[in-house]
Amino acid sequence: MSDPSRADDTVAHPGSRHRLAALTLDPGSIKPGNANIEHEREVAIYDILEANHFELVGRDDGPYSLAIGVVDDKLVFTTIPLPQEGAAGGDVEPAVIGIAMLPLRRVVKDYFLVCETYFDAIRTAPPSRIQQIDVGRRALHDEGATALSERLGGRITLDATTARRLFTLICALHWRG
């Protein structure tokens, strides 16, 4: 089962089979945004691909390419093993895992509100107030990563860092501007 509280040292190294090597967002699932939001999405994808632990339970055919989309109010993860160097190519069925967005919706909404407060505070608030808000923001981020990891439990195993980064990316799917 996914456990985002696992030590971050479980992040897969670049040669590991239990990792994401490619990640895309379904263009039809992305809410329109400005250049800053596009940049945040790109950074989130880069961060995930830089270091991650992503394991399809019961399979050992990674590394994987992951496409994330939203279909009928479900978050859909479509995962395809990437061909291995020197391995014979073949058609492999993608793993398609859908999870309801409803359990994540509250924490995403709360996270957006705290982020807005944080960005407003950076301009005017004293450092102690900014730090207090940031502690709350990080706690919500952890809560979202835990909720995501629990929803994927039994199907995808993630480490804490990957769960946090995927939660960031899911939020980026919903950012408006």
Pairwise CA distance, residues 75 & 141, whole Å: 18
Query: Which token pair is 28?
Result: 């039809």
* Per-residue pLDDT, 88: 56
Backbone angles phi, psi at 119, to 5 degrees: -65, -35
- 141 CB-near residues (< 8 Å, 6+ apart): 111, 164, 167, 168
Residue whose C-alpha is closest to residue 80's, from 103, 62, 97: 62
Domain range summary for the chain, segments of one domain joined by +: 8-174
Pairwise CA distance, residues 24 & 45, whole Å: 8
* Per-residue pLDDT, 35: 77
Q: Which residue has the tokens 């089962």?
A: 1
User: Is 152:170 a contact under the CB 8 Å cutoff?
Assistant: no
Q: Length of the chain in residues, anyone?
A: 177
Q: What is the pLDDT along the chain (177 residues), one digit of tens a residue?
A: 334 434 344 555 567 889 999 999 988 887 777 777 788 788 889 999 999 999 999 998 899 999 999 888 899 999 999 987 655 556 778 999 999 998 899 999 998 889 889 888 999 999 999 999 999 999 999 999 999 999 999 999 999 999 999 998 888 877 755
- 16 CB-near residues (< 8 Å, 6+ apart): 53, 62, 63
Pairwise CA distance, residues 7 & 9, whole Å: 5
Backbone angles phi, psi at 54, to 5 degrees: -140, 110
**SS3 category, 2:** coil
Write down the pTM of the prediction. 0.83
Query: Which token pair is 154?
Result: 């039994």
